[in-house]
Amino acid sequence: MTLYDLLKIPRSGKDRVETLDEFLADPRVAQLQWPRDVVDQWLWEHGDNPEFLDDYGTLALEAVHWTLELRPLTELVHVPTGPSDGDVLEINAKSHEHWVRGRLPEVMEAWETDGTWLRPPILIARALLDPPASGLQVVEGRTRMGVLRGRHRAGLHVAGRHSVWVGR
């Protein structure tokens, strides 16, 4: 199953899926047995994103298994995103203050107090991609990862380890 297969789940018209719970209950999504947070952030919110379809459209979704991991800052500040949106991390890093201050107060508080995000971003092992490569790649959470880079470069408080979803 690929992202293109999930596009067949109707989101408008008769028999449409209107909520995350309905989407999770669809047999195509349920068979993946992915964590709710990963489905929500990636497949539900952004599964039809043209850049994601370009970068991950042929990925065999059922082959991906997810773990919630703590990864070191030194690794995360160098993780790229997909080639279709390759410059977005740097764009977000340059405007990191905007992304922290322009969000909910709890987002700003998390960065200022804990030096990290509230919700773990979605990363994938590049070995699963076509063509395969080494390391990890940001799928979703590109604003959060850009903020991390920007704050780190600016010498602001950033935790040494961060929670992320990793698909392998």
Mean pLDDT by 10 residues, the chain (168 residues): 91 75 94 97 92 93 97 98 94 94 88 96 96 96 97 97 98
Does one domain contain both 17 and 83? no
Question: Do 40 and 102 lie in a common domain?
Answer: no
Please state, in angstroms and as integers, the Cα–Cα distance from residue 146 to each residue in 23, 36, 62, 104, 161, following that order.
29, 24, 29, 17, 15
What pLDDT does 12 receive? Answer: 60
What pLDDT is recorded for position 44?
93
Total number of domains constituting the chain = 2
What per-residue confidence (pLDDT) applies to 13?
59
Identify the pLDDT of residue 103.
76
- Give the sign of the dihedral formed by CA 164, CA 119, CA 89, CA 75: negative
77 and 45 fall within a common domain: no
Asked if residue 159 and residue 147 are part of one domain, the reply reads yes
Residues 42 and 86 in one domain: no
Q: Which of 26, 42, 62 is the last residue of a domain?
A: 62
Quick one: 109 and 42 in the same domain?
no
> Is there a single domain that holds both residue 53 and residue 29?
yes
**Is residue 160 domain-shared with residue 81, that is, in the same domain?**
yes
So what's the pLDDT on residue 10? Answer: 78
Cis before 105? omega within 30:
no
Structural domain for 35, as ranges: 3-62
Q: Select from 22, 63, 57, 27 the least CA-distant residue to 42.
A: 57
Alpha helices in the chain (DSSP H): 3-6, 20-25, 27-30, 36-38, 45-46, 50-56, 73-76, 88-94, 96-101, 105-109, 142-153
Q: Are residues 39 and 68 in the same domain?
A: no
Q: What is the pLDDT of residue 143?
A: 95
pTM, two decimals, is 0.94
